[in-house]
A and B are shown apart, each in its own frame.
Chain A
């Protein structure tokens, strides 16, 4: 099973290509998409098991030696993230089956979703910086299609902005890769990690590192590169929004984590401060937005930014503890953001409005839905023993160990703001008086929709309760980040 790392990329790609031949047969499209995703999920779980027993899996495509060909590297970090994103896509597609109308689904919807997963899984697995760019483009292209699908005026308007920002970010990415290649003469991540310390002028590397932070910060919505995020995400339909919120920004965060710990660690001081300042600013702006708005989608969208800031803070502290916390929180946040976006989309579906002032009293009609939202909200804020707690605990303690005070306190304070913002949705949306009549046909609608969301929430809760069982995997995932030699030795075999 030497080819194991390539399967999470190839299975959805093949399924999507097959599905292109019958775009209008919606039933078949659903079955094939779900089947492919279940297969991918099984394979990725098997991949996690293999990596945990046998160490880092590498695959040289086309049998070329490591620095000369493209290498796929599945260490525990990428295996865990691939598993998480595949499971999330599975549940989101399940949700989309009940959410969208047949005419909408007949327009290559699932094909685009699968290609988005191909790009995301590829970006998590690749060991080559230019290949990372290509996989970025694969999922960005899919996201352009998904965000504009439906073609309403609002979507078109916001898609243009989203497209423009991402085209510029991609061009900057090519420029950064070009500069890095000009300095080192290689593209393989492990080989780069060996060559970068040998560069005569370390300041050049620092500049390139800052460029990479700018590029990935554009994808991952760091302040001051976040301005496109609220507008672009708020117009996307709910399942698409859940997919974007859970996966896209997190790929940017993963790329920062990978490049910073592997390539630019030796140029630490300046870059570390730079990342920390950006993280703190991101948390601030996210907090501000989360409490400012009364639009349920926007509240959760700004919560994405808070989470990205918290994870980035953990990365910038760069100790064993804080990196563990960051990874733990990253996986938790992917799951819980998908859950919350789907729940919020259901609220909008029932009340026909995104504004809190038009909602109220939902709990009397939909008790299961209401309490699901309540648990998800507590989990997001990090109430123990739910899943958001351990990640933040490790990030805060990691920051404290380094003698930081402001950062950890800000992370704790941001939890309060998160809790306030989602509880605002709960109190105004589910309690109180109904502001308008919610008519009948919507009730079976939510009964179907709540199933995947509920199952996903159970996974999130289990992830919190089983923190002790998951801990060895997290530790193993952090090892190559703290000691890049492990990663380099696994890729470049003597």
Chain B
């Protein structure tokens, strides 16, 4: 099972890298979202995908899955959600301001003071 999920993580990362290297800003944001997915899946996978009950204390259950990576993933998900929301709004504002979605056109050396 870990092998299978690892392959999926690899495919996700591959797609993320491909999308991040593209020109369109929205594709880049989709790429970063995929990258976050890959990272979160990796956290769950490296901790071991052992079979067991959900980590909720119930009488008579002795085998639980590891609760710690789930907490880590929950934290990482909300952080990446916040950052992605900010990134989307930033992309929207950039489109309004520079009227382009193409990263190739976002060049220049002038600084601002």
Contact = CB atoms under 8 A, between A and B. Distances in A.
A171 B39 contact: yes
A228 B89 CA distance: 21
Interface residues of A, number: 45
B108 interface: yes
A178 interface: yes
17 contacts: A130-B75, A137-B79, A141-B86, A151-B97, A152-B97, A160-B25, A160-B106, A163-B83, A167-B35, A174-B36, A177-B72, A178-B45, A181-B43, A181-B46, A182-B45, A295-B111, A349-B113
A423 to B, nearest CB: 22
Contacts of A181: 43, 46-47, 68-69, 72
A155 interface: yes
B37 to A, nearest CB: 9
Interface in A217-258: 234-235, 237-238
Interface string B72-93: 1001100110110011001101
A171 B31 CA distance: 12
Contacts of A156: 90, 93-94, 97-98
The interface size bin for chain B is 35 or more
A241 B21 CA distance: 28
A390 to B, nearest CB: 34
Contacts of A178: 39, 42-43, 45-47, 69, 72
Interface in A149-176: 151-157, 159-160, 163-164, 167-168, 170-172, 174-175
Most buried by B among A234, A295, A298: A234
A134 interface: yes
A240 to B, nearest CB: 12
Given A156-B98, A167-B83, A174-B39, A297 B91 contact: no
Contacts of A354: 111, 113
A182 B106 contact: no
A429 interface: no
Given A160-B94, A167-B83, A168-B20, A348 B113 contact: yes
A157 B75 contact: no
A407 B21 CA distance: 36
B52 interface: no
A296 B83 CA distance: 32
Contacts of B91: 160
Given A141-B83, A238-B113, A164 B28 contact: yes
4 closest cross-chain pairs (CB), A and B: A182-B46, A174-B39, A178-B43, A234-B111
B90 A163 contact: yes
B112 interface: yes
Contacts of A177: 43, 72
Given A156-B90, A235-B111, A354-B111, A137 B83 contact: yes
A7 B1 CA distance: 45
Contacts of B90: 144, 148, 156, 159-160, 163
Contacts of B87: 160, 163-164, 167
A155 B110 CA distance: 11
A234 B112 CA distance: 8
A179 interface: yes
Given A153-B97, A181-B47, A141 B112 contact: no
A178 B36 CA distance: 13
Contacts of B42: 174-175, 178-179
Contacts of A155: 112
A345 interface: yes
B48 interface: yes
Interface string B42-68: 110111100000000000000000001
Nearest to B43: A178
A56 to B, nearest CB: 26
